[in-house]
Amino acid sequence: MKRYLAIIPNILSMLRLGLAFFFPFCPEHLWIWLILGSGASDFLDGWCARRWKTATWQGGLLDAVADKTFMLVALTTFAMTGKFSIWWIPAVIARDLTVGIAAGYAALIRSWGSFRNMGARWPGKLATAGQFLLLITVVLLPGMIPAVLFITVLCSTVAAGDYGLLFYQALRQQHTDKKESAR
């Protein structure tokens, strides 16, 4: 039974990828439901994996890819329809850009372990919540976009700094471990 439970969080993440694909082609009046569905699947996949003790590193990676894909597609769709400035997107996804750059660098120097051990942290969860709040605001309360955008960018920037520092510390620790094992 546990084997079947293990795939449910991944199915929820795949659902979020499907919602991301559908988002640009969906009528605007349905956007809120796609956003809420994506947010619910994001919450539920992590909750199920932890509750049923089926969390894996690969499942976490799938979850992160689904999150980033949905967010980027939704923000780009908003920008293409004139509801959101395309120039705001890098600031909103600063945390995601930092994590992506860290992953690319870790792969480049063949130090995947320094990246792989970077689990979810509260600043990252706060940044994700801010991003979903921003999506909801763009659809339902466009007059509030500047205030929510400021909060979202602040959360994303704090999370970017947190993950950047964590990655730097992991690289230093790995370097120290290599030096000690060479002795």
Quickly state the pLDDT bin for 61 (edges 50, 70, 90): confident
38 and 4 both lie in a single domain: yes
Name the residue with higher pLDDT: 22 or 177: 22
Rounded Cα gap, residues 63 and 69, in angstroms: 10
What digits encode the pLDDT tens for the residues 148-171? 999 999 999 999 999 999 988 888
Rounded Cα gap, residues 66 and 25, in angstroms: 18
Quickly state the pLDDT bin for 114 (edges 50, 70, 90): low
The residue segments making up the domain with residue 139 are 84-183
110 and 150 both lie in a single domain: yes
Q: Which of 45, 52, 54 is nearest to 19 (CA)?
A: 45
69 and 109 both lie in a single domain: no
- Domains held by the chain: number: 2
61 and 34 both lie in a single domain: yes
112 and 174 both lie in a single domain: yes
10 and 60 both lie in a single domain: yes
117 and 34 both lie in a single domain: no
164 and 92 both lie in a single domain: yes
